[in-house]
Chain A
């Protein structure tokens, strides 16, 4: 019913808002707990924590395997981002500005690997690689994550392109710019925010992805998520808490940086 009814209405809305607050707490509480645990002096995971130490953070960087895993993931993240920019931005240009018949088909085509579950893609790449003699490696991991996440870069850039006044590029052409000059001096500068936003997401995916990586990573080049998985399953060390703590802090920092530079309007998921 639409009539104003104060008590029931207030209670109902109150309940909804209470659930909302609970959910927000639920979103952040686990991460907070992990960070708290990471300062625990005891060598096993327990709550409430005793004491305060930065020892585990220091140990993270002393563990050769962990550091190597982090560097591997860093490399994958950078590679994936680079490939996504190089492959994805031109694709977005073709989709948004192209005057051929298959522009929608192209968008959908790029989206296909993203729609499929990551593990299925990982398995498929593994098998295909085996057939042609390409074994899992950091490069196979990078390229498979790239095709997995490419659609996000394409979509981010494409949606920005579509909102860009096409008259801007026409004006540039009229003002004596060649297509290349127009791209360089008008289109790219205006696309930068979208490319950067896309880069953040593709880097994170390259760094954090497990579903595709678990099948395609090189045996000797374990990325951080895989390394962490092993650690968590077979040990009970607060080391993992420390690594998690680092990731959480980095995530918040990255978020603040992004929001300060281009605003939080990239809810384009």
Chain B
């Protein structure tokens, strides 16, 4: 990992990261909530911390914001160490899950709060507030109180309130949780467009896969206080680094197999290379499997049931070993979907898209 700016001759394509989280840890009493988390976020990038509740994603966010002090490691923004910097001096803007709008202040006073705290004169403040409200399409709402706003409007006020500070990093803690499903989708797209338009570096926290896949340039999948994998959605989907990531994102099939001499034999006879040795687990996605007639291959099973997922048909096949394998096929492959009870054989389309993990 590099420290300090690149020298004059080595102008690398990627500039120094805006936010650098380096081996951050956090303990509460005897419980370790974060362990050795490292992540670099580049200018204008949207990264999502994704994981189930209790995985530490919110804790990490709060450490970056300064609400909690990390027990180890470093947090740098634009190369400056943040550990000694108080919350109100960090160049970050936080959008809370509950939006935390000040109920006793108008929209205008909410949005202009940070300016008032810094002593910005009224005339300038009024202009900047109007600008911020326009950015989130809430012009004219100055005199309203938060209680009079809808959920979506409240969220936009919360965003305008931080945008006005021109923060280096935008931190959003499950901002769509409080919205109903229909609104969520459109707000996600809108927000991503806004962030990209303003070129803001952002970190989202969510437990919702769909949200992560929609909003992010990169996803950091977390579990039990550690970052398991931080990569683009495509990479995570096609090349999950661990069994946990594979299981958490998208649908996956797992089975046990034996790694021998640098190879694992797949149930249909093909092989995939691996550096592991001994008992291992193999994973592949449903769309990497194909259903053929029962006599066509060695991996046999019967169709238990099927369901439609958009343009795909997802079959649940009970194999002779007892395990259920999910196979996805395009609808147009067959005139009509296979019936329950139909005998089939399964084959792997591309062995290289099978992942081998330690047990």
Contacts and interface: CB of A to CB of B under 8 A. Distances in A.
Direct interface between A and B, CB < 8 A = yes
B162 interface: yes
8 contacts: A167-B98, A170-B67, A170-B100, A171-B100, A173-B87, A174-B88, A176-B114, A177-B88
Interface in A166-206: 167-168, 170-178, 181, 185-186, 189-190
Given A174-B94, A176-B118, 16 more contacts: A167-B97, A167-B100, A170-B87, A170-B100, A171-B96, A171-B161, A174-B87, A174-B92, A175-B162, A175-B165, A176-B89, A176-B117, A178-B117, A181-B117, A185-B113, A185-B116
Nearest to B112: A175
B25 interface: no
Contacts of B93: 174
A189 B90 CA distance: 26
B104 A174 contact: no
A155 B320 CA distance: 66
A190 B104 contact: yes
Nearest to A174: B94
A194 to B, nearest CB: 13
Nearest to B119: A176
A170 B96 contact: yes
Contact of A171 (B66, B94, B104, B116): B94
Interface of B: 65-67, 86-90, 92-94, 96-98, 100, 102-104, 113-114, 116-118, 161-162, 165
Q: Top 10 nearest A-B pairs by Cβ distance?
A: A167-B100, A171-B100, A175-B114, A176-B117, A173-B87, A167-B96, A176-B114, A174-B94, A177-B117, A175-B113
A168 B116 CA distance: 16
Nearest to B158: A171
A175 B117 contact: yes
Contact of A175 (B66, B86, B103, B161): B161
Contacts of A178: 88, 117
Given A170-B67, A174-B94, A190 B88 contact: no
A185 B67 CA distance: 19
A269 interface: no
Given A167-B96, A167-B98, A176 B104 contact: no
B100 A165 contact: yes
Contacts of B97: 167
A171 B97 CA distance: 11
Contacts of B90: 174
A165 B113 contact: no
Contact of A170 (B94, B114, B162): B94
Interface residues of A, number: 17
Given A181-B117, A190-B103, A190-B104, A173 B96 contact: no
Contacts of B117: 175-178, 181
Contacts of B161: 171, 175
A178 B113 CA distance: 12
Interface in A99-127: none
Nearest to A186: B102
A86 to B, nearest CB: 23
**Taking each of A167, A171, A181, which has the highest tally of chain B beta carbons within 10 Å of its own beta carbon?**
A171
Interface string A47-61: 000000000000000
Contacts of A175: 88, 113-114, 117, 161-162, 165
B313 to A, nearest CB: 45
Contacts of B100: 165, 167-168, 170-171
A73 B86 CA distance: 48
Contacts of B103: 190
A185 B118 CA distance: 13
A174 B101 CA distance: 12
A190 B118 CA distance: 22
A108 B65 CA distance: 34
A165 B178 CA distance: 15
Given A167-B100, A190-B103, A172 B113 contact: yes
A189 B117 CA distance: 16
Contacts of A181: 117
Nearest to B171: A174
A185 B66 CA distance: 21
A131 B335 CA distance: 102
A189 B162 contact: no
Interface in A67-118: none
A48 B194 CA distance: 80
A76 B94 CA distance: 47
A174 to B, nearest CB: 5
A170 B163 CA distance: 17
Contacts of A186: 102
Contacts of A176: 88-89, 114, 117-118, 165
A172 B90 CA distance: 13
Nearest to A175: B114
A165 B104 contact: no
A207 B173 CA distance: 50
**Taking each of A168, A170, A176, A178, which has the highest tally of chain B beta carbons within 10 Å of its own beta carbon?**
A176
Nearest to A164: B103
Contacts of B116: 185
Contacts of B66: 173
A174 B100 CA distance: 11
**Taking each of B92, B113, B114, B116, which has the highest tally of chain A beta carbons within 10 Å of its own beta carbon?**
B113
A189 B102 CA distance: 10
Nearest to B97: A167
A9 to B, nearest CB: 43
Interface in A228-242: none
A185 B86 CA distance: 19
A66 B32 CA distance: 67
Contacts of B102: 168, 171-172, 186
